[in-house]
Amino acid sequence: MRRRDIITLLGSAAVAWPLSAQAQQVRRIGVLMPLTKDDPEDQTRVAAFEDGLKQLGWIESRNLRLEYRWYAGEIARARILAKELVDLRPGLIVVGATPGAMALRQETRTIPIVFVAVADPAGIGLVDNLARPGGNATGLTFFEFSVGGKLLEVLKGAVPSIARVAVCYNPQSGIFAPYLNSIQAAASALRVELVPAVTRDPTEIEAAIVAIGREPNGGLICLPDTYFNVHRELIISLAARHRLPAVYAARFFAIDGGLVSYGVDFTDLYRRAGAYVDRILKGANPAELPVQQPTKYELVLNLKTAKALGVTIPLTMQATADEVIE
């Protein structure tokens, strides 16, 4: 081979190698979101997640390909989309909320999973324990069952006259019982009567709210559940129509017109999930990455809604709130 041909061959290899290496650096990640593509809350979560990744050098269309799916709080749809994502054989799957995480757990025990906003991951068998998950899944939990009682305390603190509270729960979630137990314990101490209400569809949601709205000094709690998040517009409008004070476990309920919310910052959880994605893509074993627990809860009050309900939230609570909407 002539010297000129050798130089040409080497030069071609030098150009081709970086292009090949760059192509290999594009990582595919599946993302299973709990609400809908058009839901402002899920749009905010997606933006936070991608921002968290960007801060660590992972950028969509450059070295990352994100495959999004939304299951709209429907367990059956979560299972279908979980299988769809697993069939894509991504390097990792990020999933929001308990139904999606459990659906993925049934589909794969090998593809790494980073879950976000899952309640009691050890109790539902998603991980062996929080300190050492032991399988292919780890992530961020968002709620302790004991905080269920705190929701009732917050509602009673906002509206001291409340004496009877409907607790809406979806039996399909599979984790409602510990929440109910926690709220019942708080109800005994606060001398509040609880009215558990099975709400599996919008018709039952409306029936529960109408029933408690007929009674004087009534209130409403919706347990933390993706199903209620999806139907929050209906819940908030019904509570307003029946002049029913209500407390929710997520800030976006209060932002959208609910009276009061107490819970973790979901946007922050999704942003923080980027760090675990980064570590796993760089070789970390999810079995050895401890599940992160919430460290801060935020209280949000909507005084505009309080005024519409004819409720005066005590100034002491307003002073301690993390956010007051006027």
The answer to whether domain 3-142+266-288 and domain 147-263+298-325 are alike in fold is: yes
Whole-number pLDDT of residue 144: 74
Q: How far apart are CA 324 and CA 62, in angstroms?
A: 40
Instruction: Give the mean model confidence (pLDDT) for residues 199-211.
Output: 94
Residue 40's pLDDT is what? 94
Question: 265-274, pLDDT tens digit by residue?
Answer: 999 999 999 9
Q: Is 32 left (phi over 0), alpha (psi -120 to 50) or beta?
A: beta
Tell me whether residue 310 is exposed, middle or buried, using C-beta atoms within 10 angstroms of its C-beta: 0 to 12, 13 to 18, 19 or more.
exposed
Across residues 116-122, what is the average pLDDT? Answer: 91
Q: Which fold has domain 3-142+266-288?
A: Rossmann fold (3.40.50)
| Residue 174 pLDDT class (50, 70, 90 cuts) | low
Cβ-in-10-Å burial (0-12, 13-18, 19+) of 206 comes to middle
For 71, residues 6+ apart whose C-beta sits below 8 A from its C-beta are 32, 33, 34, 77, 78, 81, 99, 100, 103
So what's the pLDDT on residue 50? 97
**Confidence (pLDDT) at 179:** 85
Q: How many Å separate Cα 94 from the centre of its chain? A: 12
- Residue type at 288? E
Q: Give 267's contacts (C-beta < 8 A, 6+ positions apart).
A: 44, 45, 48
The verdict on domain 147-263+298-325 having CATH code 3.40.50.2300 is yes
pLDDT one-digit tens code per residue, 10-35: 444 444 434 333 444 899 999 999 99
d(CA 200, CA 246) in angstroms, rounded, equals 19
Angle at 231 between CA 138 and CA 204, to 5 degrees: 115
Q: What percent of the chain clears pLDDT 90, i.e. is strictly above it?
A: 81
Least confident of 120-129, 169-178, 272-281, 303-312: 169-178
pLDDT at 239: 97
Lowest mean pLDDT among 47-56, 68-77, 78-87, 289-298: 289-298
Q: Which of 24-38, 96-110, 139-153 has the lowest mean pLDDT?
A: 139-153
226-238 tens-digit pLDDT: 889 999 999 999 9
| AA letter at 154 | V
Residues 6+ apart with CB under 8 A from 135: 109, 127, 128, 286, 287
Yes or no: say if 163 and 143 are a contact pair by the CB < 8 Å rule: no
Residue 149 and residue 198: Cα distance in Å, rounded?
19
Question: Distances from the Cα of 13 to the Cαs of 17, 18, 19, 20, 153, in angstroms?
Answer: 6, 9, 10, 10, 69
Task: Kindly report the average pLDDT of the chain as a whole number.
Answer: 90
Instruction: Kindly list the domain boundaries of the chain, sorted by start residue.
Output: 3-142+266-288, 147-263+298-325
70 and 290 in contact (C-beta within 8 Å)? no
pLDDT at 14: 42
Burial bucket for residue 7 (CB in 10 Å: 0-12, 13-18, 19+): exposed
SS3 85: helix
Tokens 């409306």 -> residue = 206
What tokens appear for 131 in the block?
A: 């300190």
